[in-house]
Amino acid sequence: MKKDTLVVLLCYAMVYVVWGTTYYFIKAAVTTIPASLVVALRFLAGAVLLAGLALAKGEFRKGLSWKQAGGSALLGILLLLLGNGLLTIAEKTIPSYTASLIVVCGPFYIAAFNYLLFRTRISGIRMSGVLVGILGIAVLLYDGTSLAGTFHPAVLIAVSGSLCWAFGTSVSRALPKAESVFVSTAIQMTVAGGASLASAFASVPDLGEAFRGVSPWSWFSVAYLALMGTVTLVAYNHLLVKEPSFRISSYALVNPLIAVALGLAAGEKATPYLPFGVPLVLGGLTLMLYGDPIRARLSARRKSAPDASG
C-alpha cells in the first residue's frame, strides 16, 4: 500500500471514529467541570498545538492582514464559541447521542443558509432529503407525551448551536481568512477559548472550588477533546486537499452511529422513537449528500444500456 493511500485511510478513520466519540467525552467532561471551562481549556490547548504546528511548517511567515485575522476571529465566534459552546452547555442535560443527531443535521441547515445568503440552488432530491431529515429529528426528539416536554431549553440550546455552526460554515466562503488553515484555526480556537475563559471567570463563583471538584475522568475527557479533536481537525484538512468533498462528507453518516452506540453503552436512556428517528435522519442525509450523484449515475447507466427492442 502506498504511503499516501495509508495516510488518507488513517485520516478517514480518525474523522469517522474520533469525531463520533467527542460527544460522549463532552458529556463526561461537563459532568464535573463547568461548560465554559470545558470550552476554554479545550480550545486554548488546541490553539497552542495548532500554533506550534503552524510555526514548525513556517506558515506564520505568510502575510496576515487585519481583515483576514478578523474573518478568522468571527468564524471562531460562530463555529466554536457559539456552535460548540452551546452544544457543550446543552450536554449538561441532554444525552450525548441526542446532541450528535441534532448536530449531524448541519448539512440541512447549511443548504438552507446557502440558499438564503447566496441563492445556491437546491435540487428536488436534495430538498426531499432535507425534509426527511427534519422529520427524523422531530421523531427522534419526541418524548411521547408533549411538544413542550420534547423541545425543552437544553434541546433548543443544542439546535441553536448547530444553527450557529451551519451559519458560520455557510458564511465562511465570503469571509477573508488567513491563508494557512493551521493559522486560521489557531485564531478561531484562541478567540473561542479566550471568550469562554472570560465567561468562566464571570459566571463561576469560585474557580478554585470548581477545579478541586473535577473527577479524573472529566480531566481525561478534556485532554482527549483538546488533543484528539485538534489532531482530527488536521486530518480533516488533509482530506479536503486529497479527497473529493462528497466522499469526505460521509463522516456525517458514521459519526452519529458511533455516538449513539457509545451513549447507550454508557447507560444513557434512549428516546421512545429512537429506532424510527435514526433511519429517517440517516436516510435524509444520504439523499442530501448523495442524491444528485446517485441520480446522475443511474441516468447515465440507462442511457448507456443497449436498446432491448433492437
Count the Cβ atoms, other than its own, within 10 Å of residue 133: 25
Instruction: Tell me the whole-structure pTM to 2 decimals.
Output: 0.84
For CA atoms 239, 81, 45, 104, give the dihedral sign. negative
Identity of the highest mean pLDDT range in 109-113, 147-151, 193-197: 193-197
Region of poorest pLDDT, from 26-35, 84-93, 229-238: 229-238
Q: What average pLDDT does this structure show over 7-19?
A: 88
pLDDT band at 281 (very low <50, low <70, confident <90, very high): confident
pLDDT at 120: 80
User: If you average pLDDT over every residue of the chain, what do you get?
Assistant: 85
pLDDT tens-digit readout, 24-53: 999 999 999 999 999 999 999 999 999 998
Name residue, grid cell 464571570.
Answer: 202
Say which DSSP state 61 is in: G
More confident residue, 271 or 279: 279
pLDDT at 246: 55
| d(C-alpha 212, C-alpha 63), whole Å | 43
In the chain, domain spans: 1-33+214-268, 36-93+152-206, 105-151+271-299
pLDDT at 37: 94
pLDDT at 43: 95
pLDDT of 286 over the 80 cut: yes
pLDDT tens-digit readout, 126-154: 888 878 887 887 787 777 776 666 677 89
pLDDT of 238 over the 90 cut: no
CA 218 to chain centre: 21
pLDDT of 272 over the 90 cut: no
Say which DSSP state 42 is in: H
Say which DSSP state 215 is in: -
